[in-house]
Homo-oligomer: A and B are copies of this chain.
Amino acid sequence: MTKEEDILKKHISKHRLKVTKERYAVLKAFMALERHITAEELYRHMKDKGASVGLATIYRTLNLFCESGLAEQRQFGDGQARYELTYNVNHHDHLICRQCNKIIEFENREIEKLQEEVAKKHHFKIFSHRLELYGTCATCTKNNK
């Protein structure tokens, strides 16, 4: 059993939910695919692979992952939520290329620290934050010439 399966199972038993093959199938596919995936993308992928699960269940299960602390939902402004496994992944923010939709992750402790200072100055308790830089990636900039 992977550590992720274990975390999911713990969350399930803690909340009197039930272990199902669908939940394992979604977790397996979710972990196999690349980060920042869409519910629809995950649905299509599983359908193509024969491990079909209803789209509503995909949504429900991705939300379950988020509640269990395995994953996080992102909104990059294209109208579709994206999900990524964040268990055992360092916190990071994103650069998003508006041209090719590439998503680049970065970590910057200095920025995080300054954010905390801003919050402290306003006596504000931060639960979460989002920092996204939108623009054109190196590859697209090169190709534009």
Most central of A98, A125, A132, A137 by chain B CB within 10 Å: A125
Most central of A77, A110, A124, A134 by chain B CB within 10 Å: A124
Inter-chain contact A118/B106, CB cutoff 8 Å: yes
Interface check A135, CB cutoff 8 A:
yes
Complex interface: chain B residues within 8 A of A134 (CB): 126-130
Complex interface: chain B residues within 8 A of A114 (CB): 108, 110-111, 114
Complex interface: chain B residues within 8 A of A121 (CB): 106
How many residues of A are counted as interface, with CB atoms below 8 angstroms from the partner's CB atoms? 33
Number of copies: 2
Inter-chain contact A115/B129, CB cutoff 8 Å: no
Inter-chain contact A141/B123, CB cutoff 8 Å: yes
Interface check A38, CB cutoff 8 A:
no
Complex interface: chain B residues within 8 A of A128 (CB): 134-135
Inter-chain contact A130/B131, CB cutoff 8 Å: yes
Q: List 25 A-B contacts (CB under 8 A).
A: A75-B75, A75-B77, A95-B118, A97-B124, A106-B121, A106-B122, A108-B114, A108-B118, A110-B114, A111-B115, A115-B131, A122-B138, A123-B141, A124-B133, A124-B136, A124-B137, A124-B138, A125-B135, A126-B134, A127-B135, A128-B134, A129-B131, A129-B132, A130-B131, A130-B134
